[in-house]
Structure 1
Amino acid sequence: MDMPRLPATRDLVLIGGGHAHALVLRKWGMNPLPGARVTVINPGATAPYSGMLPGFVAGHYDRWELDIDLVKLARFAGARVVLGAATGLDLEARVVHVPGRPPIGFDVASVDIGITSDMPALPGFADHAIPAKPLGPFAARWDHYRAGDTPAHVAVIGGGVAGVELILAMAHALKQRRRLAQAHLIDNAQALMAIGTKARARLIQALSEQGVTLHENVEIAGIEADGIRLADTRLIRSDFTTGAAGARPYDWVSETGLALENGFISVDAQLRSSDPAVFATGDCAHLTASPRPKAGVYAVRQAPILYHNLCATMSGHSLRPYRAQKDYLKLISMGDKQALAERFAATWSGPLMWTWKNRIDQSFMQKFRDLPKMEQPELPQPHAQDMQAALGDKPMCGGCGAKIGQPALRAALAPMASTSRSDIEMLPGDDAALLRIGSARQVISTDHLRTLTPDPVMMTRIAANHALGDIWAMGATPQAALASVILPRLSPALQERTLSEIMTTATETMREAGAEIVGGHSSVGDEMTLGFTVTGLCARDPITLAGAQAGDALILTKPIGSGTLMAAEMAGIAHGDDIAAALDLMMMPQGQAAQVLATAHAMTDVTGFGLAGHLMGICDASQVAARLDLSTIPLMKGAASLAKQGVRSSLFPENRAVLPNLPQGNVADLLFDPQTAGGLLAAVAPDQATQLCEALRASGYPAAIIGEMINGPIGISLS
């Protein structure tokens, strides 16, 4: 007998994607705690690894090599990712605040948000400099700066190890490009006092070899557009200034009510804060029992203890203490491919040390690049015939990738093509019907989605905009909506928490579209499924699939490729940034686009049957052919490369079978990619097309003219 799917009863929220949390997620994927639901909150889809930042700045690594892909890692761990920066932790309400979404409830939380080297008290820093931490924004700014071709003047504020590594890397990179004019390292005390005498002497020698001017025991009055103004009025010229002086906690931590030490979260030997349900690790934490300097090695070694203690807290077991070593091996980059190693005052330097450091760093990152493959369970024996064919060779996609194929759907719905009621008009090919109530005209449609992301808030926005697509495509104004919610098995507390997130988001999304949630239905099932039945009011005749004319231009308001990207994400081969961008597009409402396209002759929303399938719907209803220019069709970031690798949604074969005569392979196959909450496809008068497309772009839609309607046998051709 199969074991029933266990309900979730506890929410674990990981605030920040620091090194310890990344390792916890990896461990969780291999050994999750049954009944615990995990959320990770991070400003972006990736978390940069600090150990390789100097190598990137020096030009030894590409930008992507720095990043731990949290989206991919969360998929492996079965966790949801919330892409946003936490701004508050309410201990009484047990929620985390992230702008732009309902509060995120937790039973146990852990904080690993790192530190910032921002200097808000230093005049002009916010306007004319960039802190070295957080690493993501700094790396992006440096990448742009070093690509220039003018003489470079750079400066780093802070004479610690981090500041020395940065200025050596910057000087090396700019010398390689023949751009270095001046490089400065500035400190208000003596530089490099946290390391031994021999190591300090070798690094100061390296500064001289790289042409870096060291300014010690100087005070800075402020940062100006063209450099750093010292207290003695001297100006150190710099057009790229960064700060690596010390470590400052994020401001919101001070408002949590947790016990702090100089702004950092105080934790005991078990990594617990003053609230036993809240843990902290990495640079944002202060170890009260054994204080240690801010260094990534401690966060990495805290990860196994943190994982155990989080599980123990949620399961009622004993916690373990973290015992920090007294000293650790310091491997310090020296600009070129050399490094200095120091431990217990012993020092070594040279290319061999850089090779050693690189091997350690690459080994750490490889843990996240090649995640363990989880074995699929064997089919039970014996089993009914055709079981393997029905399962397919990969997991079923979510969103519109889980739709029933077009041939089966058409055959089943054929008897429903007409109605006996005079006040209902079935619109051929459309997913909505026109209702007449006196002189009023109302359209009604319904849609629901199998979950494609475990985040209820994101999933609700996508499902709501997806359901509204038919209303917008008909030129109607959204009016009312009924919600249909299926939740997986959860404890009553988690049911309430999840349903609150869903309904808060649904209400906001529908109201933004001009509609109101007026009721709905909820039930429990194997997985989260969300849907809406939506009505809209028509001030004039609705825009249908019929009405397109030969010569009309075809406008598409959103790029395609979401089915391929989500299939790749399920397989663990998509880039997190690409998935985040695709989800943002799926959450983009089409209300303004529908207003711009109000004069369209025919219009539809591109969803499960793909661009080609929905365009064929216009061709059939309008009795006219279409020609697409493949080179003009906008594609989601990453979709083309994945298509060339052979990645396909599980619905692709059935979509492709509808139009077997179109070219096959690579980008052409994206025409049959099922879209979730896709764009509007409109046939418009040719003399209006350019103006309409420009208006759409001005409203924020990545719209394009992708083809035209033509005379000829009904069908689609490519130019």
Structure 2
Amino acid sequence: MFSDHLVLAGGGHTHALVLLRWAMNPKLKPAGMITLVNKASTTTYSGMFPGVVAGKYKIDEILIDLRNLASKAGVSFVLAEIEGIDLKEKKLLLSGRPEIEYSSLSLNIGTKTNLNSKSTISVDKCLAVPIKPFFQSYKFIVGQDKHKDDSSAKPFVIIGGGLAGIEIAFSLRKRWPKRAIYLKVKSGRKINNNLLTHLKFLNIEITQKNPSDLYPKLICTGNKSFDWIKDSGLPLDENGRVLTKNTLQVLNYPELFAVGDCGVIKDHPRPSSGVWAVRSAKPLAKNLESLSKGLKLEKWKPQRKAIQLLDINSINKKSKAFMSWGEVMIGPFDFLSRLKESIDINFISKFDLIKDIDSEMSSEKEMIKCRGCASKLAFTPLRSVLKKLDSIEPSADDSIDIGILNSSKNLIQSVDGFPALISDPWLNGRLLAFHSCSDIWACGGSVVSAQSVVNLPAVPNNLQQELLFHFLEGVNSALTIQGAKLIGGHTLESRKIAEDPFSLGIESSLTVNGTIDNKKYFWSKGGMKKGDQILISRSLGTGIIFSAFMNGKVRPYIIDSVLIEMNKSQHNVVNYINQLTIVKQHPKVVNACTDITGFGLLGHLSEMLESTNNDQLKMNLEPLKIVLKLDHIPVYDGVKELVDKGFESTLAPSNEVFLKNIDGDKNLKFELISNNFISNNSLYNTMLKILVDPQTCGPLVISCPSIYSERLTKEGPWIKIGFVS
């Protein structure tokens, strides 16, 4: 039996509170490995969403950062969509990646909007959007803001006459004072008279007729279980919710738990509501903790009814709210609105407490050491050692030409590695593979195979097996899309005490083999020509972003967007240039190339320039210089703001040795030009920090004739950032 791996499936309110408990009290956390799986890195606090629609709050203010929360709790975070469960094999099935084995599993996946109603059918699905997921419906509402002051615009329709739909109608009226708003209710549906009076007073039209297909519609027709839950074989009630005991354990499956909207205690029926999700967090946490220790589990008896507060979000007057208790409805009163606001802010503020953990950086020593490529040895000591070692053949390039194959292709080889960058072992394996392959790509080569060396944390064998499986699957998935294979490797066990989460204890390297069809097509670091254009394939700033992330100071969407870009292979970019080379029958589409990794853009460009000028001197030619256009250098969102807050990679200070090359000596000289950055002002200094920022899965940079640069920038990801002078 696979043991000691608790999987939290879904990042609903219950699991978020459980993680908060463990972040604030690490001793309470169950022993073994714990993994949170969710399809997004944030979860929306549903109680405040109507306030966001009304403009009372900003969307960022109601998001719970699950990745950061998991990190503070010492829990691995996996960003993936759940598509099933294998109860017999005890595996959680994920979309587009390997399944995760568990010893115990807790379900808090919520529900989706019920779209079975015929009234929700629309000719154009872009005009009929479900309220869940909230990020999707909010984007839809924002897109409709262009009609907010247009009383002649097509009416906006809320489908569903329940309390959720009514509260959204009130919020939209605050957002759009003049636009026609319809509330579509089922025939025979009764709305509380007091609510009805206020809906009419706010000019929200109640209708039972199906709206035109041309009207934009927000669907609030209740909740339904995800399809995979229905197909799982789990015990379900008539509404598709997982049936549990009063210990929150699923009936007949003592290792499974179900909470929130997706679960319900047998013989204790209740509607979906965030109230029970919040209330069940403490008993769930205690029972997960007790289960890991073999102790008796506690029983929980939830209340049968829950108070619901509906804010009117009045246009001109103070905000008022209704209070619902079963069939009883009172209000609207302004004190109820203040009560709701107090409850909501108190809930979401709980998650601010984790920001106090490792919160202030009073010195560089207190910053958490960077992972990924930023963990490599600094340039100066590395170069000094290599100069002393006569037995190592010097090379200007990161990939070594090791001979000609029988097929007449040239075989090249490179090696790279780093400690785990993130706590998801599968994605970390992919990132390592893409990062390691970039040395082959930077030579114009195609990856054919790789071997890995993996250092695993000292944890029980079955956990090592799980970590190794996912890591190698991640590596392999990055290789197979290039037509390459993982052909072997070696494993080690760390002699350090394993820290939570265990997945961050993986340290690995990859030896990558590639081929080049003809040696004359080999892209070296040197070889730049006067008049060449300098092109870059993606943005900079990963070192700064992950420094802030390791210290819990980066917004979720920033890390999400960066990981999406890092998780893209760049082999197609290289293949396109190679095809262009063959078609043009010209071996010099690319005169020189490098990949931007640990030494940053300025460091690796310095290597290119040094290699080029060494050849120039041998031929008694004038040395060249590189002119960089600061305004054109692409930077990931949020990077400049993080630099201003003092974040930098732990390798960055060592990379500042390359700054001396700006207006440097004749043989190694850079010139920075800009329309927006004035020398020595804050923006200019920020760009200097970015120029020496180490990159994991960073961009390729090429030096190519202008005749090709125009085509490459038009048909590929390339951005022109400078030229050779």
CA contact (8 A) 2:355 2:552 kept: no
How far is the alpha carbon of 1:427 from its aligned partner?
2.7
Structure 1 counterpart of 2:457, from 488, 507, 518: 488
Kindly indicate whether residue 280 of structure 2 is the aligned counterpart of residue 298 of structure 1. no
Q: What letter corresponds to residue 135 of structure 1 in structure 2?
A: F
Take 2:146 and 2:375, find their aligned partners in 1: how far apart are those partners? Answer: 44
CA contact (8 A) 1:108 1:314 kept: no
Structure 1 counterpart of 2:321, from 339, 345, 364: 339
Moved more, 677-686 or 350-359: 350-359
CA contact (8 A) 2:78 2:423 kept: no
How far is the alpha carbon of 1:118 from its aligned partner?
3.3
Q: What letter corresponds to residue 632 of structure 1 in structure 2?
A: H
Kindly indicate whether residue 22 of structure 2 is the aligned counterpart of residue 20 of structure 1. no
Give the SS at the match of 1:87. Answer: strand
Structure 2 counterpart of 1:615, from 584, 602, 605: 605
Take 1:112 and 1:79, find their aligned partners in 2: how far apart are those partners? Answer: 16
Give the SS at the match of 1:518. Answer: strand
Take 1:611 and 1:9, find their aligned partners in 2: how far apart are those partners? Answer: 45
Give the SS at the match of 1:392. Answer: helix
Change (3 A) 1:446 1:155: same
Q: Deviations over 1:556-606 (max 9, x none)?
A: 111111111111111111011211211122221110111234421100111
Structure 2 counterpart of 1:213, from 205, 209, 218: 205
Moved more, 572-581 or 138-147: 138-147
| 1:322-361 equivalences in 2 (<5 Å) | 322-336=300-314, 337-343=319-325, 345=328, 347-361=330-344
How far is the alpha carbon of 1:121 from its aligned partner?
5.1
Take 1:690 and 1:452, find their aligned partners in 2: how far apart are those partners? Answer: 36
Change (3 A) 1:62 1:212: same
Aligned residue number for residue 135 of structure 1: 134
Aligned residue number for residue 432 of structure 1: 399
Take 1:485 and 1:709, find their aligned partners in 2: how far apart are those partners? Answer: 41
Q: Deviations over 1:360-407 (max 9, x none)?
A: 11111111234153469xxxxxxxxxxx99x93312100011111111
Q: Deviations over 1:307-352 (max 9, x none)?
A: 1111222221111112212333321111323211244747242333
Aligned residue number for residue 234 of structure 1: none
CA contact (8 A) 1:9 1:35 kept: no
Aligned residue number for residue 351 of structure 2: 368
Kindly indicate whether residue 289 of structure 2 is the aligned counterpart of residue 311 of structure 1. yes
CA contact (8 A) 2:658 2:692 kept: no
Structure 2 counterpart of 1:405, from 367, 374, 378: 378
Aligned residue number for residue 250 of structure 1: 226
Structure 2 counterpart of 1:683, from 668, 690, 703: 703
Kindly indicate whether residue 600 of structure 2 is the aligned counterpart of residue 600 of structure 1. no
Change (3 A) 1:587 1:205: same
Give the SS at the match of 1:136. Answer: helix
Give the SS at the match of 1:436. Answer: strand
Take 2:403 and 2:203, find their aligned partners in 1: how far apart are those partners? Answer: 80
Aligned residue number for residue 235 of structure 1: none
Structure 1 counterpart of 2:508, from 505, 527, 530: 530
Take 1:461 and 1:543, find their aligned partners in 2: how far apart are those partners? Answer: 25
How far is the alpha carbon of 1:67 from its aligned partner?
1.3
Take 1:426 and 1:511, find their aligned partners in 2: how far apart are those partners? Answer: 31
Change (3 A) 1:675 1:15: same
The RMSD of aligned alpha carbons is 2.2
Take 1:415 and 1:9, find their aligned partners in 2: how far apart are those partners? Answer: 50
| 1:193-272 equivalences in 2 (<5 Å) | 200-215=192-207, 218=208, 220=210, 225-226=213-214, 239-262=215-238, 263-272=240-249
CA contact (8 A) 1:13 1:38 kept: yes
Take 1:609 and 1:622, find their aligned partners in 2: how far apart are those partners? Answer: 18
Structure 2 counterpart of 1:82, from 78, 85, 100: 78
Aligned residue number for residue 689 of structure 2: 669
Q: What letter corresponds to residue 574 of structure 2 in structure 1?
A: A
Give the SS at the match of 2:437. Answer: helix
Take 2:190 and 2:464, find their aligned partners in 1: how far apart are those partners? Answer: 55
How far is the alpha carbon of 1:86 from its aligned partner?
0.7
Aligned residue number for residue 170 of structure 1: 172
Structure 1 counterpart of 2:437, from 457, 468, 487: 468
Give the SS at the match of 1:564. Answer: helix
Take 1:57 and 1:374, find their aligned partners in 2: how far apart are those partners? Answer: 32
After TM superposition, which residue ranges in structure 1, 4 or more long, deviate above 6 angstroms?
none
CA contact (8 A) 1:427 1:434 kept: no
How far is the alpha carbon of 1:437 from its aligned partner?
3.8
Give the SS at the match of 1:13. Answer: strand
TM-score for the superposition, normalised by structure 2: 0.86
Change (3 A) 1:646 1:372: closer
Take 2:493 and 2:420, find their aligned partners in 1: how far apart are those partners? Answer: 14
| 1:621-632 equivalences in 2 (<5 Å) | 621-623=611-613, 624-632=624-632
Aligned residue number for residue 715 of structure 2: 695
Give the SS at the match of 2:306. Answer: coil
Take 1:106 and 1:453, find their aligned partners in 2: how far apart are those partners? Answer: 20
| 1:542-557 equivalences in 2 (<5 Å) | 542-557=522-537
Q: What letter corresponds to residue 466 of structure 2 in structure 1?
A: R
Take 2:699 and 2:518, find their aligned partners in 1: how far apart are those partners? Answer: 22
Q: What letter corresponds to residue 295 of structure 2 in structure 1?
A: H
Q: What letter corresponds to residue 261 of structure 2 in structure 1?
A: D
Give the SS at the match of 2:321. Answer: strand
CA contact (8 A) 2:322 2:329 kept: no
Gaps of 5+ in 1: 1-7, 193-199, 227-238, 377-387, 420-424, 698-702, 711-719
Change (3 A) 1:342 1:124: closer
Q: Deviations over 1:88-136 (max 9, x none)?
A: 0111111111111111111111111111223145262582411112222
CA contact (8 A) 1:426 1:434 kept: no
Q: Deviations over 1:276-318 (max 9, x none)?
A: 1111111111221322221101100100111111122222111
Identity fraction in percent: 29
Take 2:399 and 2:545, find their aligned partners in 1: how far apart are those partners? Answer: 28
TM-score for the superposition, normalised by structure 1: 0.87
Q: Deviations over 1:246-298 (max 9, x none)?
A: 22111110111110002111111111112111111111112213222211011
Take 1:586 and 1:637, find their aligned partners in 2: how far apart are those partners? Answer: 14
Change (3 A) 1:371 1:191: farther
Take 1:240 and 1:121, find their aligned partners in 2: how far apart are those partners? Answer: 16
How far is the alpha carbon of 1:661 from its aligned partner?
6.2
Moved more, 446-455 or 136-145: 136-145
